[in-house]
Amino acid sequence: PTPPYLKWAESLHSLLDDQDGIHLFRNFLKQEECADMLDFWFACSGFRKQEANEGNEKMLKLAKAIYKKYILDNNGIVSRQIKPATKSFIKDCVMKLHIDPAMFDQAQTEIQTMMEENTYPLFLKSDIYLEYT
Amino acid sequence: IDSEDDLLQECISSAMPKKK
């Protein structure tokens, strides 16, 4: 069978589908001071997943927490990678209490594209990954 | 503040793949 670390090189998705892969990728991002991008990506997925079984109040609290931590501060690594229109859409949703499971989808896509085009290829060439293999 | 961080952490963990 293909060893996991070879699968990680197939796509960002295969990497993020493996606990050890996530762990190593996060270590790399931490070194590059952009681990927040990965945390944000998972927070968006988690937010969407929780919708079915969580009450509205919890969803609102969570949406606010994600907004405050990753988007509000314009100098944050995540905030800098998200388009202004996407940020104001999310801000509007939070301010008007329009909480929707898909409200972070666009922002998540933008961060994912950024990782696919930038940090993921760098990770595959990094010492952290090469030493692991 | 703590509970907000906990909520966020719980949300992030819920999206991670489970150990195989």
Cβ atoms of B12 and A46 closer than 8 Å = yes
Across the interface, whether the CB atoms of A68 and B5 are under 8 A apart is answered: no
Cβ atoms of A71 and A90 closer than 8 Å = yes
pLDDT for position A51 = 62
Q: Does B13 touch chain A (CB under 8 A)?
A: yes
Distance from CA of B4 to the nearest CA of A (A): 6
pLDDT tens for residues A43-79? 999 999 886 666 788 899 999 999 999 999 999 999 9
What is the ipTM, given to two decimal places?
A: 0.89
Helices A35-50 and A105-114 pack at an angle, to 10 degrees, of 150
In the block, tokens 């940090």 appear at A119
Of B5, B11, B16, which is closest to A19 when you measure between CB atoms?
B16
Across the interface, whether the CB atoms of B8 and A45 are under 8 A apart is answered: no
Confidence of residue B3 (pLDDT cuts 50, 70, 90): confident
Of A50, A61, A64, which is closest to B14 when you measure between CB atoms?
A50
Mark out the alpha helices in chain A (DSSP H runs): 4-7, 12-15, 19-31, 35-50, 56-66, 77-81, 84-95, 105-114, 120-125, 127-132
Q: Does A35 touch chain B (CB under 8 A)?
A: no
Confidence of residue B1 (pLDDT cuts 50, 70, 90): low
Q: Which of A34-38, A50-54, A113-117 has the lowest mean pLDDT?
A: A50-54
| Residue among A127, A108, A96, A88 nearest A40 (CA) | A108
Contact residues on chain A for B18, CB-CB shorter than 8 A: 19
Distance from CA of B2 to the nearest CA of A (A): 11
Confidence of residue A1 (pLDDT cuts 50, 70, 90): confident
